[in-house]
Amino acid sequence: MHLVDYPESDRANELARKTRDLMDEVILPFERDLGPGEAISDSELESLREAAKDYGVYCPQMPEEYGGMGESFRDSLAVFEEAGQSLLGPPALRVDAPDEGNMHTIELAGTEAQKERWLPPLIEGEAKSAFSMTEPAPGGGSDPKMIKTTAEKDGDEWVIDGHKWWTSNGYEADVFLVMARTDQDAHPYEGCSIFLVPAEADGLELVRDVPSMDSSMLEVSHAEVRYDGVRVPEENILGAENEGFQIAQRRLGPARLTHCMRFCGMADRALAIARAYMQHRDAFGSSLADKQSLRHKIAEQELALHTTRTTTRDAARRISEGHQARIPVAMCKVKAARMVQEAVDLAIQCCGGAGLSRDLPLVDFYEGLRFFRIGDGADEVHLRSIAREAFEDEHVADADLANLPEF
């Protein structure tokens, strides 16, 4: 249970309760039975997904007509947080990245034909997807304006050429959402488009799975991909031509908040593990839970978790009301990424040698979370946006400086 109650709708509370029951009764026991370093099999994951359907919490964020539950974005966030208690939770409930964000993008910008083709198999877990945007130097990374991949019109087809990497799910994907420049003379923000590229397209080469910090519990690739004269029909463009970045921004706001909620769940469980261990482990004449320095560190992390939950819910409310909420989302992203890293690190420290073993899930958590301070926008990129907004504030108190000597 949370230390602080949050104002949620009755439906959100019901979904949270059902998800908590699923996690406690099915997913966490299954996770604990996995051997150290053992990955979940496809058949085992399918079994967990069937359980999520039985509990009434499978893919709540997607429309019913394509196989989801049709819940509102705001109410669905409670499911994301509870699912984040285990690395197995998000894929079991089909609220996992990058598929969750890709499904939302197709729902947001796709034609009816594109939605009917891709959303049912993606929601059901019969297909996987990859968002292919990041490029090796000198291409687009933290500065997406540097994008080099191009798409040229040739009759009723588009021809894509480029080099990408960190395309998560690349080796598993059935469809790639590829960002490419379609107007070479325009600013990239006004001259890029997103294309749906089937994995079997001629000229799409999976160069390698980039070695990375990742949990062994889930087998997710981060592919380096080359597009060498890849041809797709005109109807494979996602949304309007040259509106790729506008679509990506509409995708990234909600997607970043779902990341934040999943990581709140991870931090919550990590701190619960730490508290339980501290209460049972004696050292220097008393339990670790009686040591004031450790108690205060736990309290500080509970404070950080509460503020992250609060700011994330506020940003989600703004998005649900139709606002872009660019700065609130940036603040949430930075805060959540730092908070979860600090929480899991503290939990490992409090558990000592046990924290370093794979008998507890903390090592898997640690390996799986560090990317979050770089992926979906590095801390520095979001801080740059926040600082720019702060320094452009029209309410800067110049009058307070009037009595200072010239400077």
Backbone angles phi, psi at 15, to 5 degrees: -65, -40
At 395 the pLDDT is 61
Tokens of 337: 């990424």
Q: Measure the CA–CA gap between 342 and 14, rounded to whole angstroms.
A: 30
At 47 the pLDDT is 98
- Residue 39 is given by DSSP the state P
Model confidence at 396: pLDDT above 70? no
pTM above 0.75, yes or no: yes
Q: What is the mean pLDDT of the chain?
A: 94
Model confidence at 330: pLDDT above 80? yes
Domains, in order of start, for the chain: 10-96 (1.10.540.10), 129-242 (2.40.110.10), 245-391 (1.20.140.10)
Segment 187-210 mean pLDDT:
97
Q: Measure the CA–CA gap between 89 and 30, rounded to whole angstroms.
A: 11
At 1 the pLDDT is 61
Model confidence at 150: pLDDT above 60? yes
- Would you say 373 and 379 are in contact if contact means Cβ atoms under 8 Å apart? yes
Bigger pLDDT: 120 or 38?
120
215 pLDDT band, cuts 50/70/90, is low
Residue 312 is which amino acid? T
Backbone angles phi, psi at 35, to 5 degrees: -70, 155
Question: Quick one: how far is CA 76 from the chain centroid?
Answer: 14
Residue 183 is which amino acid? D
Model confidence at 401: pLDDT above 80? no
**Each residue's pLDDT tens digit, 353-383:** 999 999 999 999 998 888 899 988 899 999 9
Model confidence at 407: pLDDT above 60? no
Nearest Cα to Cα of residue 352 among 267, 360, 300: 360
324 pLDDT band, cuts 50/70/90, is confident
